[in-house]
């Protein structure tokens, strides 16, 4: 009894039980078959019981408090006799002790497993809430969840799926031991909207399968690579953010009841950590935007006002100057100040744009098109906006305006090659004009202040923001 209960490793404990039973009864063949709810397996001594010759045999159930843990099998006594009452009594006593030992072993294993999953969930939270050097992007956060989940579940693949704009869910982060070809196929792979698996996940319910490749609920071609699988909803505050897929290879042990419970708890903790990390990034972005707004206000309230005052002083000095060359030089300085003020205003507009991942507004697209033409024109065009351009111009008109701007800049650059290129080009987008037919409209004007190229004008009536 001391020998059987001295090892907390389940496999070694099963071997000890079989060896001890064979030693006490003189059996040539002994094996322990497990019948617990967490999967099948066996520990044996000598040849497996399946290979034992026909003849004397003995089977004794291993149970604790009425719960069946497994069965102890014996066959083939050394002396060729049948198993007697003494053998049966010894084996029953051993089976009782074995049941207690197996129960303790399973509890120790479950405790270690829970501790490992709890530590893994804590490490995910720590990684997601680390500083910018440890957690740079949302993609990194999702990858951390996929990698940690795969390691904890001892799975071949861990993947995070998020809702797709066209329906269903798609793989946005993956960690896998499979070949690169499988990884490439799986990344950005989708679970179609009609999948029964997806309906269950959206309801906040986990999906478990012992053989995902043969599961009729799976309609995704990606399932052919996997056997035992857990699809766990990433749920926080009653909202399903996505799903965590943990997949083992075909033929691997199925996920036990304990692993399913711990995996579900890990997914819930990971969802909370993802929400916290997202809010943390929002606070960081907000701090950056506040700094940009402060810089924009300083440029507008201090720098532009001082430049404007300097320009007024120079204008006064030019009117009083008597020598033509002095007046001409002052005029050039005033023009340069005006151009500088316009460039600063353009910079202020750029500082006030939204985050990089947000769809760019019309102002941002116009500035981007102007900057892209700098090499062709020999200088960056000056851009001026009149009225609430982003608010008034619908998406369809905005695309047409940007296309017209590109054509105009190309035409100006092509018509004035080499040294005769215009030193300065002025682009004006006015969302406050009234068209000849009386309708409100938006007008684009591209002109050269020195008159080296005739002005190019494009205009269109304003529509609703929906673009109807």
Please, where in the chain does CATH 3.30.450.40 lie?
4-119, 128-277
Reduced to 3 states, what is the DSSP secondary structure of residue 173?
A: strand
Residues 292 and 352: beta-carbon distance below 8 Å: yes
CA 171, CA 138: separation in Å to the nearest integer?
A: 14
Reduced to 3 states, what is the DSSP secondary structure of residue 361?
A: coil
Q: Give the mean pLDDT per block of 10 residues along the chain (468 residues).
A: 64 80 86 62 41 65 77 81 86 83 76 82 72 53 85 90 85 87 83 86 89 83 85 86 90 87 86 74 73 78 83 87 86 82 72 58 84 77 83 88 89 62 74 90 86 84 59
Q: Does domain 360-468 match CATH 3.30.565?
A: yes
Q: Give the pLDDT confidence score for residue 48 in this predicted structure.
A: 39
CA 243, CA 421: separation in Å to the nearest integer?
A: 57
CA 95, CA 358: separation in Å to the nearest integer?
A: 67
Q: State the burial class of residue 269 (Cβ atoms within 10 Å of its Cβ: 0-12, 13-18, 19+).
A: buried
CA 61, CA 307: separation in Å to the nearest integer?
A: 95
Assigned CATH for 4-119: 3.30.450.40
Nearest to 463 by CA among 363, 393, 378, 387: 393
**Dihedral angle sign, alpha carbons of residues 343, 349, 354, 358:** negative
Q: Give the pLDDT confidence score for residue 441 in this predicted structure.
A: 92
Residues 125 and 86: beta-carbon distance below 8 Å: no
Q: How many other CB atoms are there within 10 angstroms of residue 6's CB atom?
A: 11
**128-277: CATH class:** alpha beta
Q: Specify the residue for token string 């909202």.
A: 239
CA 446, CA 275: separation in Å to the nearest integer?
A: 47
| DSSP at 254 | P
Q: Give the pLDDT confidence score for residue 442 in this predicted structure.
A: 93
In angstroms, how far apart are the furthest CA atoms of the chain?
Answer: 135
Q: Give the pLDDT confidence score for residue 230 in this predicted structure.
A: 92
Reduced to 3 states, what is the DSSP secondary structure of residue 247?
A: strand
Q: Give the pLDDT confidence score for residue 236 in this predicted structure.
A: 80
């Amino acid at each position: 009894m001391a020998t059987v209960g001295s090892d907390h490793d389940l496999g070694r404990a099963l071997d000890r039980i079989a060896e001890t039973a064979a030693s006490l009864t003189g059996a040539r063949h002994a094996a322990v078959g497990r019948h617990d709810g967490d999967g099948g397996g066996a520990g044996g001594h000598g040849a497996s019981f399946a290979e034992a010759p026909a003849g004397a045999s003995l089977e004794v159930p291993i149970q604790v408090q009425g719960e069946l843990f497994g069965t102890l099998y014996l066959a083939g006594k050394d002396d060729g006799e049948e198993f007697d009452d003494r053998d049966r009594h010894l084996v029953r006593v051993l089976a009782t002790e074995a049941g207690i030992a197996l129960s303790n072993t399973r509890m120790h294993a479950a405790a270690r497993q829970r501790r490992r999953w709890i530590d893994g969930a804590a490490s995910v939270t720590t990684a997601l809430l680390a500083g910018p050097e440890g957690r740079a992007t949302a993609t990194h956060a999702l990858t951390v969840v996929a990698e940690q989940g795969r390691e904890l579940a001892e799975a071949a693949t861990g993947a995070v799926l998020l809702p797709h704009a066209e329906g269903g869910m798609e793989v946005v982060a993956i960690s896998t031991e499979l070949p690169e070809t499988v990884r490439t196929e799986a990344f950005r792979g989708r679970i179609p909207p009609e999948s029964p698996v997806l309906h269950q996940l959206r309801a906040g319910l986990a999906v478990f399968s012992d053989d995902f490749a043969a599961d009729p609920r799976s309609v995704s071609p990606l399932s052919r690579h996997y056997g035992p699988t857990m699809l766990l909803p990433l749920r926080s505050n009653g909202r399903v953010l996505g799903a965590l897929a943990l997949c083992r290879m075909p033929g691997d042990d199925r996920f036990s009841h304990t692993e399913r419970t711990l995996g579900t708890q890990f997914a819930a903790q990971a969802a909370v950590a993802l929400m916290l990390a997202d809010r943390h990034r929002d606070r960081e972005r907000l701090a950056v935007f506040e700094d940009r707004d402060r810089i924009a206000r300083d440029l507008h309230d201090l720098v532009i006002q001082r430049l404007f005052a300097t320009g007024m002083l120079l204008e006064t000095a030019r009117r009083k100057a008597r020598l033509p060359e002095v007046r001409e030089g002052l005029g050039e300085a005033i023009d340069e100040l005006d151009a500088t003020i316009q460039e600063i205003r353009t910079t202020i507009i750029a500082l006030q744009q939204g985050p990089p991942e947000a769809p760019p507004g019309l102002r941002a697209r116009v500035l981007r098109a102007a900057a892209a033409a700098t090499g062709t024109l020999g200088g960056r065009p000056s851009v001026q906006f009149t009225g609430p351009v982003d608010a008034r111009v619908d998406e369809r008109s905005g695309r047409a305006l940007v296309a017209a701007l590109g054509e105009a800049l190309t035409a100006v650059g092509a018509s004035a090659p080499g040294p005769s290129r215009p030193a300065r080009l002025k682009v004006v987008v006015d969302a406050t004009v009234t068209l000849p037919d009386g309708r409100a409209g938006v007008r684009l004007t591209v002109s050269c202040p020195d008159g080296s190229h005739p002005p190019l004008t494009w205009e269109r009536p304003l529509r609703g923001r929906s673009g109807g």
